[in-house]
Structure 1
Amino acid sequence: MPVEKLAPGVWGVLATPLTEDGSAVDTASLTRQVEHYGRIGATGLTALGVFGEAARLTPEERSTVVSTVAAAAGDLPMVIGLSSLDAEGACAEAENVLGVLDRSPAGLMVQVGSPDPDAVVAQANTVAERTGQGIVVQDYPVVSGVSIATDDLVAAVRRIPSAVAVKSESSPSPPAVATLAAGLDVPVFGGLGGTGLLDELAVGSAGAMTGFSVPEGLIACVTAFRDGGYAAAREVWRDYLPLVNFEFQAGIALSLRKHSFVHRGLLATPAVRPPSKLAPESMLGLLREHLRHTPHALQVPS
């Protein structure tokens, strides 16, 4: 099955906006978010990722998210995340969302579901064969509960002909990205909210596939690295790092980012679904202060 590797750059992982009571997907806010990524020059989009609360959405809501993103994305390519850690569950998720598309996605993102490389190969190849789509292999042990040795992941991905990229979110991320980038001929993208972005670029990553409330910063850093190397990217990225670090707080990271999007005019409400926690009121003033000092953060989308 011929597949096209993902282009280097920034693949924005979309938040799933919810209505104020959290009971439904806010499609108007989702459309604004997608259009904003298009305006700022994102390489592509990722729907139904961890940042998109995909595991907490019903099948009908996942279809709504995918159809809304596809309608607003124009020519921007889209990766679709699958939450299930087993092949059968992932295939069922894929069938549900692919049915609402009139074009193929750039890839289906499959989470590593076993520390055994043979099982990872079987899982990814089953999804690829059943759906006819390229596969983004996602290694995110904090979320999946599965830890695979990086060398074993390299060996597994080499045996997945449909692999179009790897999303590496195993901490510490720079050493993992370095090993993956050196051992594979598919692009490797960092995640983790951009916390390791600069060093991941330095050791061979193709860019970022992550959620951050000021994705302009991700794009500026990746562009600066491409054009001017490490020193240029470091100069650009340092102005965004305080907000990157502030947002990436365990348990409340999603809530903080959604509050940021509300301040930016991209989301109507910061609602999240359990088990995500609401950011405490004590953090919201600090968030506004970080936004005040972050380039682009207070620019309201037109």
Structure 2
Amino acid sequence: MTNQLASARGVFAIAATPFRDDGRLDTAGIDRLTDFYVACGVDGLTILGIMGEAPKLEPEESLAVIRQALGRTRLPVIVGVSASGFAAMHRLARESMDLGAAGVMIAPPSHLRSDDQILAYYAQAVEAIGMDVPFVIQDYPLALSVIMSPRVIRTIVQNHASCAMVKHEDWPGLDKITQLKAFMAEGSMRPVSILCGNGALFLDFEMERGASGAMTGYAFPELLVDVVRLQRDGRRDAAHDLFDAHLPLIRYEQQPGIGLAVRKYVLKKRGIIASDAQRKPGSSLTGTSRAEVDYLLARLARHDKRAAI
């Protein structure tokens, strides 16, 4: 399974977690959302990530989401298991793998500052989940305040055979991708998959720098699939033209604080989820913001009919 993720390419959609207006899990919505991602042509799913509101779920709710998503698709599913303590991480990781997950994703806690602290944390995390569990490094300094240099990432990969993937979300981070690919080319770093996040804000050039694909949750995952495919086919201008048409909405969705509200609002307008509610604490869009999103969708529909909703 480690080899499967280490060679993964394409798009792993970061799944939102649908709730009812009253904050309860929308179990029917999980099935509809999973089916939607599969129909968009994604290569895998990542559930219980930061944008999946994982910290707001009770442990049994997390397991229910995992069980339902894994029972709905045969695509590889990565489960976010980041937790404040290793006991909770161990349980969620082991139960996820027992249910058929392809691997787990681990984000570093925000208090880590030095390279030695980061390396020690991942060593302890691997010990906690088990060395047989494939894991993904989440490199997201903008949200987590932890800065991992390419050399630190290389050391984690080299120290732990179960490390299969890097979720790259540094910003600016294009040169980091280039450096990691150079390590792999020279043989000083074992080849692993590099999937990029940041709401796909830089996906056009990330693919050109050698990224394996995307792992993010933009409300039009079909766009992510198309851009990755076009870049692979060598159709650079076509990839950039399509990406540029979506860029205003991608940018709007990437705003700190309301980004998930934007994403859920669009998914609701597309008929994928019944409610755009977030579990508290959460954000919501003002009437003006909703009108701006509607305007962006109308403009996008001139270039991509999938936005005509």
1:81 equivalent in alignment to 2:45: no
Separation in 2 of the partners of 1:38 and 1:156?
32
Which of the numbers 106, 109, 113 marks the counterpart of 1:110?
A: 106
Separation in 1 of the partners of 2:9 and 2:224?
12
Which of the numbers 247, 250, 267 marks the counterpart of 1:261?
A: 267
Conservation of the 8 A alpha-carbon contact between 1:13 and 1:45: yes
Separation in 1 of the partners of 2:2 and 2:13?
25
1:153-192 matched pairs, under 5 angstroms: 153-183=153-183, 184=189, 185-192=191-198
Q: CA deviation at 1:2?
A: 5.8
* Higher deviation after alignment, 219-228 or 59-68: 59-68
Separation in 2 of the partners of 1:296 and 1:133?
41
Conservation of the 8 A alpha-carbon contact between 1:121 and 1:159: no
Separation in 2 of the partners of 1:175 and 1:93?
34
Who is 1:119 aligned against?
A: 120
Separation in 2 of the partners of 1:175 and 1:127?
32
Q: CA deviation at 1:58?
A: 0.9
The one-letter code of the counterpart of 1:154 is R
Q: CA deviation at 1:277?
A: 1.5
The one-letter code of the counterpart of 2:51 is F
CA separation of 1:86 and 1:198: change in aligned 2, threshold 3 A: farther
CA separation of 1:10 and 1:280: change in aligned 2, threshold 3 A: same
Deviation digits for residues 215-250 of structure 1 (CA, Å, limit 9, x no counterpart)? 010001000000025333212211111110111111
Number of equivalent positions: 294
1:240-279 matched pairs, under 5 angstroms: 240-279=246-285
Q: CA deviation at 1:91?
A: 1.2
Q: Give % identity.
A: 32
* Higher deviation after alignment, 207-216 or 180-189: 180-189
Conservation of the 8 A alpha-carbon contact between 1:120 and 1:156: no
Structure 2: which 5+ residue stretches go unaligned? 184-188
Deviation digits for residues 165-185 of structure 1 (CA, Å, limit 9, x no counterpart)? 100112212222222233241
* Structure 1 counterpart SS, 2:215: strand
* Higher deviation after alignment, 75-84 or 256-265: 75-84
RMSD over equivalenced CA pairs, Å: 2.1
Conservation of the 8 A alpha-carbon contact between 1:17 and 1:267: yes
Q: Which has the higher contact order (CA 8 A, sep 6+)?
A: 2
Q: CA deviation at 1:110?
A: 0.9
The one-letter code of the counterpart of 2:14 is V
What TM-score do the two structures reach when normalised by structure 2?
A: 0.88
Deviation digits for residues 86-108 of structure 1 (CA, Å, limit 9, x no counterpart)? 54442133245445x1x3x2211
* Structure 2 counterpart SS, 1:137: strand
Structure 1: which 5+ residue stretches go unaligned? none
CA separation of 1:43 and 1:296: change in aligned 2, threshold 3 A: farther
Separation in 2 of the partners of 1:68 and 1:287?
31
The one-letter code of the counterpart of 2:15 is L
1:27 equivalent in alignment to 2:33: no
1:60 equivalent in alignment to 2:66: no
* Higher deviation after alignment, 75-84 or 136-145: 136-145
* Structure 1 counterpart SS, 2:261: helix
Deviation digits for residues 174-211 of structure 1 (CA, Å, limit 9, x no counterpart)? 22222223324101111010001111111111010001
